[in-house]
Amino acid sequence: MNALVKDPQIAWVDVGADTDIPRRGARRLKGPQGEIAIFRTGDGQVFALMDACPHKGGPLSQGIVHGASVTCPLHGRVIDLATGESLGADAGKGCAPVVPLEVREGRLFIGLVRA
């Protein structure tokens, strides 16, 4: 992605380098609406979700990242990092909100949506 979406409702904030996030891991970030989890897959893709499992609110940032999914540390629900949707047997049972995230020249930008 080479240009951040130009939308007056979204404020893009540089939160660090993509390499600050461990591969197959995540970092946490305090956002205005609650904790945000930023994930990096084994292949180096990054995703951001609100850090709360749709099941019981578990911190997804603490789960094991495999492929483009994360397994919630509390009860093992598998969440799609790209969509926040529950996968497998829990498909359709709720979704962790996706947080706008863009990478530009190795920097991570989180999009804050103005109320």
Partner 1 sequence: MTKERLVVIGNGMAGCRAVEEVLKRDPNRYEITIFGTEPRVNYDRIMLSPVLAGEKAFADIVLNDEAWYRDHAITLHTGCAVAEIDREARVVRAGDGTQAAYDRLILATGSDPVRLPLPGAGLAGVVTFRDLDDVETMVAAADAGGEAVVIGGGLLGLEAAYGLARRGMRATVIHLMDVLMERQLDESAGFLLRSALTDRGVETVLGAQSEAILGEDGKVSGLQLKDGRIIPCSLLVMAVGIRPNTALAANCGLNVGRGVVVDDQMRTSDPAVFAIGECAEHRGIAYGLVAPIWEMCRTLADVLTGVDDCAYGGSVLQTRLKVSGVDVFSAGRFSGGEGCEDVVFRDAGRGVYKRVVLEQGRVAGAVLFGDVIDGGWYFDLMKSQADVSELRETLIFGQAVTEALRGVDPKSAVAAMADSQEICGCNGVCKGAITTAIADLGLTTLEDVRAHTKASASCGSCTPLVEKLLAVTLGDAFQVQTGPKPVCGCTHHGHEVVRKRIVSEGLKSIPAVMQALEWTTPEGCASCRPALNYYLICAWPGDYQDDKQSRFVNERVHANIQKDGTYSVVPRMWGGMTSPQELRAIADVADKFAIPAVKVTGGQRIDLLGVKKDDLPAVWADLNAAGMVSGHAYAKGLRTVKTCVGTDWCRFGTQDSTGLGVRLEKFMWGSWAPAKVKLAVSGCPRNCAEATCKDIGVVCVDSGFEIHIGGAAGLHIQGTQLLTKVASEDEAVWAICAITQLYREEGWYLERIYKWMARVGLETIRAQVEDPEARKALYDRFAYSQRFSRTDPWAERVAGRHADEFNPLSRRLEFERA
CB of 27 to partner 1, least distance (A): 5
Asked whether 86 and 52 are in contact (CB, 8 A), the reply is: no
> Which one, 13 or 91, has the nearer CB to partner 1?
13
Which three-class secondary structure state does DSSP give residue 79?
strand
The set of residues, in sequence order, having a beta carbon less than 8 Å from that of 27 and lying 6+ positions away, is 16, 20, 21, 37, 38, 61
Q: Which residues bind partner 1 (CB under 8 A)?
A: 2-3, 11, 13-16, 20, 22-25, 27-32, 36, 38, 41-45, 56-59, 62-68, 71, 73-74, 76, 78, 80, 82-83, 110, 112, 114
Looking from the CA of 106 toward its CB, the CA atoms found within 13 Å total 3
> Which one, 96 or 110, has the nearer CB to partner 1?
110
> Which one, 65 or 96, has the nearer CB to partner 1?
65
CB of 66 to partner 1, least distance (A): 5
> Which one, 62 or 95, has the nearer CB to partner 1?
62
Asked whether 50 and 33 are in contact (CB, 8 A), the reply is: yes
